[in-house]
Chain A
């Protein structure tokens, strides 16, 4: 069983730039959620995708957007980067309706905005 994989593991951007983070779901899973974990904080829900459409969103501005592809992989895009966007971005996959306890998390992409 292949777990959730994310890329890149680390990246550095400057304020105002755009970034794309990628996630491959665990095999057998059909939903993808993205979380932001700032330093010293717990993960915070950004949004979830199911059947290539957004299926719930947390308190994040529209410059955070996502895509889910037919193979259930996903991208997180952040435009007009701000210093506060520096964080670990976690991707989690699951089967819709399978319950929160089957969420599988990737190791994350650590973004630094200078």
Chain B
């Protein structure tokens, strides 16, 4: 049973436009959510996170939105750049644990 779901395996956007990556979760005990970016042949790198006590967190071009009632979060990248092309993983944890539950990832391609 997949507790964290990323239903879009891939997304393609034009440079300068907004990229929106979505993630759903089923476990209501999750209280901390993260987005990781992964380039080929590299490990995942932390991008942005949000606690369940917030509904939005922003860091530069990246904003994460959390809708607890819908058990849904999304990552917005504005404006998108070709260097953002990577696989993006949504992850969740509970109680401050460093045990992360990951989604399957969404491959983002930003076209020049």
Measuring CB to CB, which residues of chain A are less than 8 angstroms from any residue of chain B?
Answer: 4, 31, 33, 35, 40-45, 48, 56, 58, 90, 92, 94, 96-97, 99-108
Contacts and interface: CB of A to CB of B under 8 A. Distances in A.
A90 B104 contact: no
A48 B102 contact: no
A101 B49 contact: yes
A41 B104 contact: yes
Interface residues of B, number: 25
A95 to B, nearest CB: 10
Q: Please list the 5 inter-chain residue pairs (A to B) with the smallest Cβ-Cβ separation, ordered nearest first.
A: A42-B102, A105-B43, A101-B49, A107-B43, A105-B44
Contacts of B4: 42
A100 B104 contact: no
B99 A58 contact: yes
A31 B43 contact: no
Contact of A42 (B42, B45, B104): B104
A29 to B, nearest CB: 11
B100 A101 contact: no
A100 B93 contact: yes
Given A42-B103, A103-B98, 9 more contacts: A35-B102, A42-B91, A42-B102, A42-B104, A45-B101, A56-B99, A99-B96, A105-B43, A107-B43
Given A33-B99, A101-B49, A90 B44 contact: yes
Contacts of B69: none
A35 B42 CA distance: 14
A100 B41 contact: no
B34 interface: yes
Contact of A48 (B36, B49, B91, B99): B99
Interface in B50-95: 89, 91, 93
Contacts of A56: 97, 99
A103 B46 contact: yes
B49 A100 contact: yes
B105 A42 contact: yes
Nearest to A47: B99
Residue among A42, A48, A99 having the largest count of chain B Cβ atoms under 10 Å: A42
